């Protein structure tokens, strides 16, 4: 990496402002998957061993620029207290007096976790004033938030304009190393699988993936904007209405470029977004008005799994259905098994994304694929060949 890494910094007695991605899934205030925290621990521990005070910044979910207890990082502070040797202090705000007084209590070898950076509207706007406040919290900056590195936000990128040196942590380095090694000259067939719920964020990625891949498989919430574009009924399924035209274009661009674009031929539908409601499987033209599609159907699952098993390189981001509910987890878990089978057969398989990583862990197959990335959107944008602001803004080496 042509950027400074944490080992290039002198850390003894320093306050290290470290951006991490602790955007972990929570249910009733309990962390349901700790992967993103576990993956950041080596960098945190390294800085602590070198005698630094580590000041952690993260977002959690998408609160709309104001404090919201449902998106508090407090559960993560409780987790860190058990996982780390020194003291862990929690700051009720990421800037201002609450942050400063938490930091004032910390000594070498202690950690301060500050509250969700997205409680401030400036964060996602990369507001220079907020960036400056983050920079003032410490002496050096480390980015280890691979999963957020595609965001040009204050705590990821803007801060580096006011705080140097800015260096990469171990997780960031590991992720980039793996992705660049495996996809720069992929063995073919190269299959990309896209699902999940961040449709408007991720649909644009497809255009840049078309020249690189042989097949694009679309499932999860992403699928229904495409089905709408094909004139199929989608009932109350997830829809990004202003992306329907783009979906139409992508369908014809895929055809023109000889890329196989696969969409569900059947779906599991329900009347409510709930595991308690009635559900059934219907064909692609069978989603009625009052129903919503929450998983791919069995026939689709077989077609997708066969395609994945025949691939030599697979990158998958975004669950095939609402795997958090047992009625709608079959497609995701079956595809996870297909990834494991492909890996056993010699394919390079990468699954990325906070929720996708949690899904493959839940399926018990996390150690049966080549790489589980902590970033979904970030790994996709990296594969597209885009500059990630969280990396390009770090201090150049030499």
Summarize as ranges the residues that interact with ligand ADP (CB under 6 A). Answer: 195-198, 220-221, 238, 293-294, 317-319, 321-322, 324, 353-356, 376
CB of 353 to Mg ion, least distance (A): 5
Judged by beta carbon, residue 122 or residue 318, the one nearer ligand ADP is 318
Judged by beta carbon, residue 24 or residue 347, the one nearer ligand ADP is 24
CB of 20 to ligand ADP, least distance (A): 16
Is 279 marked within a binding site? Answer: no
CB of 237 to ligand ADP, least distance (A): 6
Judged by beta carbon, residue 123 or residue 355, the one nearer Mg ion is 355
Judged by beta carbon, residue 53 or residue 142, the one nearer ligand X15 is 142
CB of 358 to Mg ion, least distance (A): 9
**Among the listed residues 195, 183, 185, the one whose alpha carbon sits nearest the alpha carbon of residue 383:** 183
CB of 154 to ligand ADP, least distance (A): 22
Judged by beta carbon, residue 86 or residue 204, the one nearer ligand ADP is 204
377 near ligand X15 (CB under 6 A)? yes
CB of 21 to Mg ion, least distance (A): 11
Examine the residue annotation and report whether 198 is marked as an active-site residue of this protein: yes
Three-state secondary structure string covering the chain: CCECEHHHCCCCCCEEEEECCCCCCEECCEECCCHHHHHHHHHHHHHHHCCCEEEEECCCCCCCCCCCHHHCCHHHHHHHHHHCCCCEEEECCCCHHHHHHHHHHCCCCCEEEECCHHHCCCHHHCCHHHHHHHHCCCCEEEECCHHHCCCCCCCCCHHHHCCCCEEECHHHHHHHHHHHHHHCCCCCCEEEEECCCCHHHHCCHHHHHCCCCCEEEECHHHHHHHHHHCCCCCCCCCCCHHHHHHHHHHHHHHHHCCCEEECCCEEEEECCCCCCCCEEEEECCCCCCCCEEEEECHHHHHHHHHHHHCCCEEEEECCCCCCCCHHHCHHHHHHHHHHHHHHHCCCEEEEECHHHHHHHHHCCCHHHCCEEECCCHHHHHHHHCCCCHHHHCCCECC
Q: From ligand X15, Mg ion, ligand ADP, none, which one binds at residue 294 (CB under 5 to 8 Å depending on kind)?
A: ligand ADP
Number of residues that bind ligand X15 (CB under 6 A): 13
Identify the active-site residue in 352, 354, 375, 376: 354
Residues between 354 and 373 with contacts to Mg ion, criterion CB under 5 A: 354-355
Q: From Mg ion, ligand ADP, ligand X15, none, which one binds at residue 151 (CB under 5 to 8 Å depending on kind)?
A: ligand X15
Residues between 144 and 203 with contacts to ligand X15, criterion CB under 6 A: 147-148, 151, 198
d(CA 90, CA 70) in angstroms, rounded, equals 16
Examine the residue annotation and report whether 91 is marked as an active-site residue of this protein: no
Give the residue closest to ligand X15 by C-beta: 376
Applying CB under 6 A, among 4, 21, 236, 358 the residue interacting with ligand X15 is: 21
Examine the residue annotation and report whether 36 is marked as an active-site residue of this protein: yes
Complete edge-to-edge strand list for the sheet that includes strand 190-194: 260-262, 215-218, 190-194, 313-317, 348-352, 371-373
Examine the residue annotation and report whether 377 is marked as an active-site residue of this protein: yes
139 near Mg ion (CB under 5 A)? no
Residues at the binding site for ATP are 202, 324, 353-356
Residues at the binding site for substrate are 21-23, 36, 59-62, 118, 151
The residues binding Mg ion (CB under 5 A) are: 354-355
Active site residues per annotation: 36, 198, 354, 377
């Amino acid at each position: 990496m042509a950027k400074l890494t944490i080992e290039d910094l002198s850390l003894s007695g320093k306050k290290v402002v470290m951006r991490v991605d602790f955007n972990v899934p929570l249910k009733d205030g309990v962390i349901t998957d700790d992967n993103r925290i576990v993956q950041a621990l080596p960098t945190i521990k390294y800085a602590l061993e070198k005698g630094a005070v580590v000041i952690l910044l993260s977002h959690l979910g998408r609160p709309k620029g104001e404090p919201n207890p449902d998106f508090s990082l407090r559960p993560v502070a409780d987790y860190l207290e058990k996982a780390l040797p020194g003291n862990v202090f929690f700051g009720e705000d990421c800037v201002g007096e609450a942050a400063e007084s938490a930091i004032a209590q910390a000594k070498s070898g202690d950690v301060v976790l500050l509250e969700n950076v997205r409680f401030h509207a400036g964060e996602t706007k990369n507001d220079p004033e907020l960036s400056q406040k983050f920079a003032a919290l410490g002496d050096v900056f480390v980015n280890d938030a691979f999963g957020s590195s595609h965001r040009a936000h204050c705590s990821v990128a803007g801060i580096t304009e006011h705080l140097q040196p800015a260096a990469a942590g171990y997780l960031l380095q590991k992720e980039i190393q793996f992705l660049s090694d495996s996809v720069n000259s992929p063995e073919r067939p190269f299959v990309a699988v896209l699902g999940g719920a961040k449709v408007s964020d991720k649909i644009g990625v497809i255009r840049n993936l078309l020249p690189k891949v042989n097949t694009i498989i679309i499932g999860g919430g992403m699928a229904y904007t495409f089905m709408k574009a094909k004139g199929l009924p989608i009932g109350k399924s997830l829809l990004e209405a202003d992306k329907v035209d783009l979906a139409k274009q992508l369908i014809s661009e895929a055809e023109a470029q000889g890329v196989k674009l696969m969409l569900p031929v059947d779906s599991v539908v329900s009347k409510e977004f709930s595991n308690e409601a009635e559900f059934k499987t219907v064909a692609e033209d069978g989603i009625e008005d009052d129903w919503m599609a929450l998983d791919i159907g069995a026939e689709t699952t077989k077609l997708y799994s066969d395609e994945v098993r025949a691939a030599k390189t697979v990158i998958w981001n975004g669950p095939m259905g609402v795997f958090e509910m047992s009625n709608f987890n079959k497609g995701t878990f079956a595809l996870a098994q297909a990834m494991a089978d492909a890996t056993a057969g010699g394919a390079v398989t990468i699954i990325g994304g906070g929720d996708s990583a949690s899904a493959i862990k839940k399926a018990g197959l996390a150690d049966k694929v080549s790489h589980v990335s902590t970033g979904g959107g970030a790994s996709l944008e990296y594969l597209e060949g885009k500059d990630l602001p969280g990396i390009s803004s770090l201090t150049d080496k030499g």
